Copies of this chain bind each other. A is one copy, B any other.
Amino acid sequence: MKNIFGNSITVTLFGESHGPQIGAVIDGLAPGLEVDLDFIRKQLELRKPHGKISTGRVETDEPHIVSGVFEGKTTGAPLCILFENSNIKSKDYSKTKNLIRPGHADYTAMEKYHGFADYRGGGHFSGRITTPLVAVGAILIKALQKKGIYIGSHIQKCGAIEDRQFIDYESDIKKVNELIFPVLDEEIAEKMHHYMLGVAGEGDSVGGVLETVVIGMPTGVGEPWFDTVESILAHALFSVPAVKGVEFGDGFGFADMKGSEANDAFEIKDGTIVTKTNHNGGINGGITNGMPLRFRTVVKPTPSIYKKQETVNVETMENAVLQIEGRHDPAIVHRARVVVDSMTAIVLADLLAVRFGTDWL
């Protein structure tokens, strides 16, 4: 029960939105993995706010690796990566310190930590803390790619607007990984962006669904009980702030299907066993079957909105009205994309390290 994740490869997160530094320690990395700072910076760029659908708080996000790397490669010892928090406006929050923000962790943090939590900007609960996750994810994304494993996610749905499906997985993954606003169809991308701007203009925010595919995963990874691939991935994905649902393959669509529609028939193709369809998202009985992994993650609308909201003043214990100022994101689903990809990489690298040994990657 802790802020640590993984079995053979383990990630420890620390930091607060308005503290001096945030960071992560990743342990169990195979020695000799290339640490490409430019690729880390590129992945961090995908997480950064861009344009009017994001917060005005822009951090430089320059990664400082203080351990576990020697002469450009992982040593095998724990890798600690740090980021400075520079662009902080703490006074934004002081006014509303006692007004717990609806949809946020203010109240639960207060209850869990008996009033000792750092409340500024959401403290340890802030989406800011995903920055080091993206950085360590980048190292593993690169390592997995060298093994032929590629991860890609797009905004499959936002409001009533839906993107097209992944068609050619390999080229679509490459395409989407270059996009700051990860939508496969360009016209849809524009519509979605326009919709987000409109809602932002109302002082409100939107949610959305991310769809992720992974190609190249070996068969036979995962456990039948408790540590199924779905269990481990969901565990990781549900710890991304604002994620409230995860489904694999046809997911909630299975409720309307029959067994004859849901089962994926097997066939021989090029001497290998494959499935004709992939309703089960590449996982049978909790174990990878060699087909692409396919899952969807729903991101709730950003709780920080400019509209007036009813709440409670925890000092006076009276009902109150809150109008949040500060700088906020009317949409985070596009920024959450690279966090989802990073968590996915962390999970898959760990599953592979458990199965094939700590040197596998």
- Compute how far the CA of A13 lies from the CA of B281 in the bound complex, rounded to whole angstroms: 26
**Interface: A22 (CB within 8 A):** yes
Chain A, residues 291-314, CB within 8 Å of chain B (1/0): the string is: 000001011111111010111101
Query: Distance (Å) between the CB of A94 and the closest chain B CB?
Result: 13
A236 to chain B, nearest CB (A): 7
Asked whether, in the complex, the Cβ of B287 is within 8 Å of the Cβ of A111, the reply is: yes
State the oligomeric state as a number of copies.
Answer: 4
Check B2–A75 contact: CB distance below 8 A: no
Q: Closest CB of chain B to A7's CB: distance in Å?
A: 5
Interface: A114 (CB within 8 A)? yes
Pick from B3, B75, B125, B359: contact of A124, CB under 8 Å: B75
Contacts of A117 in B (CB 8 A): 31, 70, 75-77
Cα-based distance from A220 to B235 in the complex (angstroms): 19
Assuming the A-B contacts A28-B2, A102-B275, A117-B70, are A266 and B107 also in contact, with contact meaning beta carbons closer than 8 angstroms in the complex? yes
- Residue A238 CB within 8 A of the other chain: yes
For chain A residues 1-47, which have a beta carbon within 8 Å of chain B?
Answer: 1-5, 7-8, 10-16, 19-23, 25, 27-28, 31-32
* Interchain nearest-CB distance for A80 vs B (Å): 4
> Which interface class (under 10, 10 to 19, 20 to 34, 35 or more) fits A?
35 or more
Determine if A67 and B19 form an interchain contact, defined as CB atoms under 8 angstroms apart.
yes
Query: Does A267 touch B at the CB level, under 8 Å?
Result: yes
Q: Can you pick out 18 interface pairs between chain A and chain B where the beta carbons lie within 8 Å of each other?
A: A3-B78, A12-B25, A13-B78, A13-B226, A19-B66, A31-B115, A76-B114, A105-B284, A114-B359, A226-B239, A244-B254, A244-B281, A246-B246, A247-B298, A257-B301, A259-B304, A263-B303, A355-B358
Contact with B along A83-108 (1 / 0, CB 8 A): 00000000000000000101111011
* A148 to B317 CA separation, bound complex (whole angstroms): 26
Chain A 58-84 interface residues, beta-carbon cutoff 8 Å to B: 66-68, 70, 73-80, 82
Contacts of A123 in B (CB 8 A): 70, 75, 77
- In contact, A219 and B108 (Cβ under 8 angstroms): yes
